[in-house]
Amino acid sequence: MTKFDAEWVAAEEAKRRWMDQNGLYKADDEHASCGVGLVVSINGKPSRQVVENGINALKAVWHRGAVDADGKTGDGAGIHVQIPVPFFHDQIRRTGHEPDPNALIAVGQVFLPRTDFGAQERCRTIIESEVLRMGYYIYGWRHVPVDISVLGEKANATRPEIEQILIKNTKEIDEETFERELYVIRRRIEKAAIAAQIQGLYLCSLSCRSIIYKGMMLAEQVASFYPDLMDERFVSAFAIYHQRYSTNTFPQWWLAQPFRMLAHNGEINTLKGNVNWMKSHEIRMASNTFGELAEDIKPIIPAGASDSGALDAVFEVLVRAGRNAPMAKTMMVPEAWSKTAVEMPQAWQDMYSYCNSVMEPWDGPAALAMTDGRWVCGGLDRNGLRPMRYVVTGDGMLIAGSEAGMVPVDEMTVREKGALGPGQMIAVDMEEGKLYRDIAIKDKLAAAQPFGDWIEKIVELNSLLRDVPETAKHDGVELRRRQIAAGYTMEEIEQVLVPMAEDGKEMIASMGDDTPAAVLSQVYRPLSHYFRQNFSQVTNPPIDSLREARVMSLK
């Protein structure tokens, strides 16, 4: 890195810190609207064709991402594939070790601060310490080969040092337990880096199943930047890919997707509420799966995570606690179920009722490509506000994503084409080697647990409060005095309270709030003014529980 590059990076970071502290820009408000998709071999067998199809599909959605003025710097793009064990066995041999063919290996894809060699070494020390603390053996580190000629100036100036740590499962535990302990290791590393005030450390993935290659290059340059992906030994049974187009945000290497388990096209409009709910859940969070390690993974949502990153963090902890990817999606981003036009099977209603009592829905436009290592799924939010089209090919592949025709296929042998509807899923169980469509996967999930028995304990407050008599406690001068003290205006009484009281309807008014901030207002603004709906403000017309009752509920 040249002196100019280092100065540019420092100035850029200083500008973002100043804006976050003093300006209207807030990192917590970042959203993204992107291109996303997956390719999976239904029989679960790794092949080179899957990786190549994923790369080609990623190239095909390049137009869904933003491009800087230099023509090379992108908002972020990446691909998530299985770990090709023979390929990494060769890398282990280069470290001077002979890999144990009977032991699982894990690979960590690590972004390190490139310009600060002291911080680099401290990062490696933190990572190695946590791996050894959990009782695993480290084969060594590998510098990931990259071709920086495909990067733009800004992407190259902010480029991290990219390395891989190679880990041996010396405890002879099963794959699921190994994955869970690797998750705990990663969370410990992240917390230790924060405590040491180290910036620039990010683990794209730390897994014995899969690995993520991503960055701020253009979608068509991901495989060019990472020559690993072009190696014939690099095979996989699935590929999840993502091209980022962020709104109201700055491009950064670590914000590129896919994240550890999912890639997301859309926005989470309920994000602030979801994050606050998770903070409250953490107080009483317990898991037989994690046991005493549960404290090491809190807070579940890391500070500064984008809406997609926060969604992924909660999705990941649900999976690591024992749920599969389709169930985690059903719990977090459910379909509309309480007021559907077509009668829903009772088993499904019981399942959604249970999910609703455990986890608040993460609502907003969402097209999701997800994996837990065994299941690979595509799914939509309850409104279906992002596209997800799919094709089942004659050679046994499921290809799904934001566009039709992302991967050229032999149309003569195509078995099925379609598009997911609101709240629907399509999934492949790679271990079973079976494709599940929406109805089949939900039947399977609903039958997996006795949800009907569990929800008998749920108390519906509506039924208890519906017939409770209400009487007016004040009227006349006494009522007016209290209204003035509470800050009510004639406008609120006539346009808000009267329609609600006389017709049981909400007011109809323009979106937004042009009321001046309390510090600038000459009128008293009570605390109750700030208890308001804080979601779905970006659609036109606005989505609400009255006009679109089938997909929106105040519950």
- Answer left, alpha or beta for residue 18, where phi above 0 means left and psi between -120 and 50 means alpha: alpha
The token pair that represents 353 in the structure block: 């009722």
Q: Show Cβ contacts of residue 458 under 8 Å, excluding neighbours closer than 6 positions.
A: 353, 357
Beta-strand runs (E) in 420-520: 425-429, 434-436
Helix (H) or strand (E) holding 442: helix 438-448
Least Cα distance to 370 among 259, 208, 275 occurs for 259
In this structure, the chain runs to a length of 555
Beta-strand runs (E) in 420-545: 425-429, 434-436
Least Cα distance to 134 among 189, 191, 201 occurs for 189
Q: How many CA atoms lie within 13 A of 539 on its CB side?
A: 18
Location of structure tokens 């890195």: 1
Q: What three-state secondary structure class fits 487? A: coil
Other beta carbons within 10 angstroms of residue 386's beta carbon come to 21
34 is catalytic: yes
For the stretch 241-266, what's the b/e string if a residue is b when 16 or more beta carbons lie within 10 angstroms of its beta carbon? bbbbbbeebebbbbbbbbbbbbbbbb
CA–CA separation, 536 vs 364, rounded Å? 7
| Active-site hit among 34, 204, 355, 377 | 34
- Answer left, alpha or beta for residue 423, where phi above 0 means left and psi between -120 and 50 means alpha: left
Residues 440, 448 contacting (CB under 8 angstroms): no
**Residues of the chain by 3-state class (helix, strand, coil), percent to 5:** 40, 20, 45
CA–CA separation, 352 vs 358, rounded Å? 10
For the chain, the distance separating the N- and C-terminal CA atoms, rounded to the nearest angstrom, is 53
Least Cα distance to 214 among 257, 250, 153, 251 occurs for 257
CA–CA separation, 314 vs 328, rounded Å? 9
Q: Is the dihedral of CA 488, 493, 495, 498 positive or negative?
A: positive
Phi, psi for residue 370 in degrees, rounded to 5 = -135, 155
Residues 231, 129 contacting (CB under 8 angstroms): no
Least Cα distance to 485 among 524, 521, 517, 520 occurs for 524
- Catalytic residue IDs: 34
